[in-house]
Structure 1
Amino acid sequence: MSQTLRHPEILDIARAEGKVTVEGLAERFGVTVQTIRRDLAELAEAGRLERVHGGAVLPSGVSNIGYEDRRVLNHPAKSAIARACAREIPDSASVFLNIGTSTEAVARELLDHRDLLVITNNMNVANILVSNPDCQVIVAAGTLRRSDGGLVGNLTIDTINQFKFDFAVIGCSALDAEGDLLDFDVQEVHVSQTIIRQARRSFLVADHSKFQRSAPARIASLSEIDTFFTDRPLPRDLTGRCASWGTRLRIASEGRGSEDPATAPATGQRGEAARG
């Protein structure tokens, strides 16, 4: 395969998997690792990828990946994470689901739950849960973000402040080594911060690709999250921090969509002081 044909396919793989490796691409295309390194160097120079040890990832920056690209990115992992999260939400609960393709996956897993109250600032979540007749859906007011169906702004925050819900299920665009949740849109960040404050328990749903990205605006720390649902173990240092904060880790298996207790260390309840 020529370089001209390889480059678009390399980008497609990066969008689907979050990362590409030199050895994996060399085997896939039947070329040398030196050839792949040149391909990645050219894509990085063009701003399409960022080089990391052993491969490349989608570039960080001040804008997010397009919504349709995010929808297919790591889809099996998001589905497994969503199943694990939905299992910890009981019937007859009040739940907030915010903007993001991971929270939309959780909404699909709530279609068989009974007697739910769901508040959301995500039009896609509302449309998904229309199919559950045993779920009352409240859509927060706000300014519509056409790119992904999200509602943001002061009206959204005012609506959220009228509720105290049992569970908040939120996503993020990136997660750094210190355990900070990051995003690209400052208005969305302010909404997410309000959601966490108004929740009795906060769940984060984010797949492993978020470990390899960066974004400029800080939402919160994992210390403010009760349970983090993801698909791969965190780096050792961050796992230790979560244990000290009392943030539970739940690793979802793509095969079964269930928690892997071998990689989910048992921790105690998060202290109220961590919510500050």
Structure 2
Amino acid sequence: MARLRSEKRRDEIARLAASHGLTSVEQLSARFGVTASTIRRDLALLTTQGKLARTYGGALSLEPHPEATLRQRLGEAHEAKQAIAAWAATQVVPGENVILDGGSTNAALAEEFKDFRDLSVSTIGLTSLEVLADAEDIEVILLGGRLRTVSQSFVGPVTEAALERMSFDRAFMGADGVRADRGICEKDLQQTRLKELMMSRADHVYVLAHGAKLGQAPFHAWAVMPTHWTLVTDDTAPVEQVRIFRAAGVEVVVVETVEEQTGA
């Protein structure tokens, strides 16, 4: 991503710590395109200001972890999400029936589908629906239910009832955090129950998560993963986290992100 001025960078670090919890110096250094020593100075200042609590190798917000809105997430890790979505689109072939989870990375994947032919796309996300609304050669199915305004996606028994009557070639999942030992982390249990049902109805499951989400646990609701699934992340992902997922038997795809660099 383009480098931010010091004050804006520190504001973004505090926001990321609040929404994602523990964040490593290495991740922040890669994300903002500055040195680790610069990040450590930022963390020290934020700690002095009472905005963060330092931990070994990272920072922990002093505030409860609020759930970021979809609008906030749309501007986060943009290049990484685009690269992840572009790779995910290459896995889909004409005639398939796929389902998109809510979230900004799946909205980017919907953009990749706009020029596809002979494809059926089901989604719980209003953003993906909006992207594909004018795609004449794609069958679009919106799974209704109770709208979560913060994520602009549907959950609840109505959504689940629709899913129980469907099956998919591929499911593309989003995540607030993802861990090899626990699965997908989300704000509430309705979300995780729905994700488990979506994954159970698909032949192939992909979790689309940029590097900052790996190993993170911002909330306390978890979706248990199927036996076989693929994690698709970007090249800012911590090497140790990638190793942990692969050691757990998860197929991991790391896509290259090309980030625009400008002056500080």
The Cα of 1:16 is off from its aligned counterpart by 7.7
Aligned-pair CA distance for 1:141: 1.8
Correspondence 1:69 to 2:72: yes
Corresponding residue number in structure 2 for 1:216:
220
> How many Å apart are 1:67 and its aligned residue?
2.3
Q: TM-score, normalised on structure 2? A: 0.79
Distance (whole Å) between structure 2 residues aligned to residue 198 and residue 59 of structure 1:
39
2-structure distance, mates of 1:16, 1:80? 21
The 8 Å contact of residues 227 and 248 in structure 1, kept in 2 or not, is answered as yes
More off after superposition, 58-67 vs 123-132: 58-67
Separation (CA, whole Å) in 1 of partners of 2:92 and 2:60:
33
Q: Choose which of 22, 25, 28 in structure 2 pairs with 1:20.
A: 28
Seen in structure 2, the aligned counterparts of structure 1 residues 141 and 249 have a Cα distance that, compared at 3 Å, is same
Structure 1 residues 35-81: Cα deviation after superposition (integer angstroms, max 9, x where no partner) = 534312135x33xx453444436679553223222111111001000
Task: Return the alpha-carbon distance in structure 1 between the equivalents of residues 165 and 175 of structure 2.
Answer: 23
Please, what TM-score do these two structures have when normalized by structure 1? 0.76
In structure 2, relative to structure 1, the CA distance for the partners of 1:236 and 1:187 (3 Å cut) is: same
SS of the residue aligned with 2:154? strand
Does the Cα contact within 8 Å between 2:180 and 2:215 map onto a contact in 1?
no
Instruction: Considering Cα pairs closer than 8 Å and 6+ residues apart, tell me whether 1 or 2 has the greater RCO.
Output: 2
Change beyond 3 A, Cα 1:244–1:178: closer
Please state if 1:242 is matched with 2:246.
yes
Q: Specify the code of the residue in structure 1 equivalent to 2:10.
A: I
Q: Are the aligned partners of 2:245 and 2:252 in contact in 1 as well (CA < 8 Å)?
A: no
Match of 1:38 among 44, 47, 57: 44
3-state SS in 2 of match to 1:169: strand
Find the aligned partners of 1:220 and 1:62 in 2 and give their Cα distance: 22
2:11 pairs with 1:11: yes
Q: Is the 2:81–2:108 Cα contact (8 Å) retained in structure 1?
A: yes
1:195 counterpart residue number:
198
Contact 2:98–2:122 (CA<8 Å) still a contact in 1? yes
Please show how residues 1-276 of structure 1 align to structure 2 within 5 Å.
7-12=7-12, 20-21=28-29, 24=35, 27=38, 36-42=42-48, 45-46=50-51, 49=52, 51-56=54-59, 61=64, 63-176=66-179, 178=181, 180-211=183-214, 213-214=216-217, 215-221=219-225, 224-232=227-235, 233=237, 235-236=239-240, 239=243, 242=246, 245=249, 247-255=250-258
Structure 1 residues without counterparts, runs of 5 or longer: 257-276
For 2:60 and 2:251, locate their aligned partners in 1 and report how far apart those are by CA, in whole Å.
27
Does the CA contact (< 8 Å) of 2:147 and 2:153 recur in 1? yes
Aligned equivalents of 1:185, 1:230: Cα separation in 2: 23
RMSD: 3.1
Shift of 1:227: 1.6
The alpha carbon displacement at 1:249 in A equals 1.3
1:231–1:251 CA contact under 8 A, matched in 2: yes
Instruction: Flag the 1:69–1:244 CA change in 2: closer, same or farther, 3 A.
Output: closer
Q: State percent identity of aligned pairs.
A: 22
Q: Report deviation, 1:190.
A: 1.1
Residue 78 and residue 15 in structure 1: after superposition, are their counterparts in 2 closer, same or farther (change >3 A)?
farther
Q: How many residues align?
A: 242
Which of structures 1 and 2 has the bigger CA Rg?
1
